[in-house]
Amino acid sequence: MSESEPSPQQIQNPQETTLQKTRTNLAYLLLGSRASTVPSSRRVRTALTTARYLIRYIIRRVLRYAKYAVIGATVAAAAGTLGVFGGGLTFFAAPGILTGMGIGLLTGVIKFGWRHRGNHFRSDLSTMRSRAQAGHDGAEDEALDAEGEARRLDQEKSERRRDVWMRV
């Protein structure tokens, strides 16, 4: 006997009533080969097995699409909630094309400056912190920086005056 063939004890009695046959068929439909009794007809067993697989397939598909629907509804609800609050804020943040262009230009200038002069800003912060911890006065530091900057500008001007080709 093969595994797909039920044992003689499992095969239903041909003398059963319609109610007993229905119970046997439903048990086979729900449990498959694990049912305690199986229908006697091979045709009925095949039809019930096929129906069982189709029902399982349909249920899995329905659950899958229900899951997608729940996720979509959650995302839509979150977006709707943010849209309610964000709707009023966007009026102030970007009411027109010129404001959007201005924000883009400002962002570009800040990014450019941070890329090209970022180390200068970062080194000044660490230098200022270390000088403050050493007990230096901030006002004196500013005065020294101003004097150094003035000296550097005077030196650049004198170099330009000396260079004849720069005057043209």
Q: Could you read off the pLDDT of 143-162 as tens digits, one per residue? A: 777 777 778 788 888 877 77
Please report, for residues 6, 7, 52, 116, 123, the alpha-carbon distance to residue 35 in angstroms, rounded to integers and kept in the order given. Answer: 10, 12, 13, 77, 79
pLDDT: is 138 or 104 the higher one? 104
Given a cut of 60, is residue 93 above it in pLDDT? no
b/e map of 37-63 (b: 16 or more CB within 10 Å)?
A: bbbbeeebbeebeeeeeeeeeeeeeee
Highest mean pLDDT among 10-19, 39-48, 78-87, 118-127: 39-48
Helix (H, G, I), strand (E, B) or coil at 11: strand
- Closest to 42 measured CA to CA, from 2, 70, 78, 81: 2
Residue 7 has pLDDT above 70, yes or no: no
CA–CA gap between residue 94 and residue 101 (Å, rounded): 9
Q: Where are the alpha helices (DSSP H) in the chain?
A: 18-31, 42-93, 97-133, 138-162
The reported pLDDT for the residue numbered 1 is 43
Report the predicted TM-score, pTM, of the whole model to 2 decimal places. 0.40
Segment 15-72, tens digit of pLDDT: 778 888 888 888 888 888 888 888 888 898 889 989 999 999 999 999 999 998 888 8
Partners of 38 in beta bridges: 11
* Amino acid (one-letter) located at 61: R
Distances (CA, A) of 58 to 47, 150, 158: 16, 83, 89
Q: Which amino acid is at 23?
A: R
* pLDDT, tens only, 125-134: 667 677 777 7
